[in-house]
Amino acid sequence: MSVKIGIVGYGLGGRYFHAPFVDAATGITLGGIVTRSASRVAQAEADFPGVPVFASLGEVIDSGVDAVTITTPPQTRRELVLEAIGRGVHVIADKPFAPDVETARELVAAADHAGVLLSVYHNRRYDADIRTLMSVLPRLGDIWRIESHFDLDGADTLESGPTGGLLRDIGAHVVDQMLWLFGPAERVDAHLDHVDRPEGRTDAGFVVNIAHRSGVYSSVSSSKVNHLEGRRLRAFGSLGSYVADGTDVQAQALFAGTRPVDDPTGWGYERRERWGVLHTADGAETVPSQRGAYQDYYTEFAAAVAGTGEQPVPARTALGTIAVLAAAREAAESGSTVVVPSVD
Q: CATH number for the domain including 96?
A: 3.40.50.720
Residues 112 and 135 in one domain: no
Nearest 5°: the CA angle 59, 162, 156 is 80
Buried b (16+ CB within 10 A) or exposed e, 129-153: bbbbbeebeeebeebeebbbbbbbe
Residues 133 and 219 in one domain: yes
Question: Residue 187 is part of a domain; what is its CATH number?
Answer: 3.30.360.10
Nearest 5°: the CA angle 73, 100, 131 is 75
CA-CA-CA-CA torsion for 108, 111, 112, 113, nearest 10 degrees? Answer: 120
Residues 71 and 218 in one domain: no
SS3 261: helix
Q: Note the pLDDT of residue 200.
A: 85
Residues 81 and 160 in one domain: no
Specify if 344 maps to a domain. Answer: no
Is 45 in contact with 280 (CB distance < 8 Å)?
Answer: no
Q: Note the pLDDT of residue 39.
A: 96
Residues 134 and 181 in one domain: yes
pLDDT 10s per residue in the chain (344 long)? Answer: 799 999 999 999 999 999 999 999 999 999 999 999 999 999 999 999 999 999 999 999 999 999 999 999 888 999 999 999 999 999 999 999 999 999 999 999 999 999 999 999 999 999 999 999 999 999 999 999 999 999 999 888 888 877 789 999 999 999 999 999 999 999 999 999 999 988 888 999 999 999 999 999 999 999 999 999 999 999 999 999 999 999 999 999 999 999 999 999 999 999 999 999 999 999 999 999 999 999 999 999 999 999 999 999 999 999 999 999 999 999 999 999 999 998 87
Residues 9 and 115 in one domain: yes
Residues 134 and 107 in one domain: no
Q: Note the pLDDT of residue 156.
A: 86
Is 54 in contact with 40 (CB distance < 8 Å)?
Answer: no
Q: Note the pLDDT of residue 199.
A: 82
SS3 35: coil
Query: What domain range includes position 137?
Result: 128-291+322-339
Residue 51 makes CB contacts below 8 A (sequence gap 6+) with 30, 31, 32, 33, 44, 45
Residues 92 and 143 in one domain: no
Residues 234 and 282 in one domain: yes
Is 145 in contact with 216 (CB distance < 8 Å)?
Answer: yes
Specify if 154 maps to a domain. Answer: yes
Residues 132 and 230 in one domain: yes
Residues 52 and 201 in one domain: no
- The domain total for the chain is 2
Residues 234 and 261 in one domain: yes
